[in-house]
Amino acid sequence: NAGVTQTPKFQVLKTGQSMTLQCAQDMNHNSMYWYRQDPGMGLRLIYYSASEGTTDKGEVPNGYNVSRLNKREFSLRLESAAPSQTSVYFCASSEAKTGWQPQHFGDGTRLSIL
């Protein structure tokens, strides 16, 4: 009954370091999403994958890259971390991209960039 699983749960990086956030879902969903959540702001979409083999930019893609490895897995990479990327990152999935279906979230990765 895992749903959406994110790793790691916490990470501290130094400016300029790189890292990859992992996300996997076991609900056979077609669409997957990466969001960031900052205090006082709504969830902001970084990238999404409407289906296996496709990825698209969201509202705040700069400084990030993604890979839809297969139907289950969608990773987010920070190539050169900056303090402005300190945030809580959520991965989500839904049956389809149309927006009719709700999204289901992982429990987040808390990332601090020093």
Partner 1 sequence: RKEVEQDPGPFNVPEGATVAFNCTYSNSASQSFFWYRQDCRKEPKLLMSVYSSGNEDGRFTAQLNRASQYISLLIRDSKLSDSATYLCAVRGSNYQLIWGAGTKLIIKP
Chain contacts with partner 1 (rule: CB under 8 A): 40-45, 48, 58, 90, 97-100, 102-108
Shortest reach from residue 97's CB to partner 1, in Å: 6
> Cα separations (Å) of 41 from 35, 36, 45, 49, 87?
12, 9, 12, 23, 11
Beta bridge partners, 24, equal: 5, 73
Shortest reach from residue 102's CB to partner 1, in Å: 5
- Closest CB to partner 1 among residues 2, 14: 2
- Closest CB to partner 1 among residues 17, 50: 50
- Closest CB to partner 1 among residues 47, 85: 47
**Strand, coil or helix: 83:** helix
Shortest reach from residue 50's CB to partner 1, in Å: 8
Q: Given CA atoms 92, 93, 94, 98 in this order, what sign does their dihedral have?
A: positive
Shortest reach from residue 107's CB to partner 1, in Å: 5
CA distance 98 to 114: 38
- Closest CB to partner 1 among residues 48, 85: 48
The answer to whether 40 touches 20, Cβ cutoff 8 Å, is: no
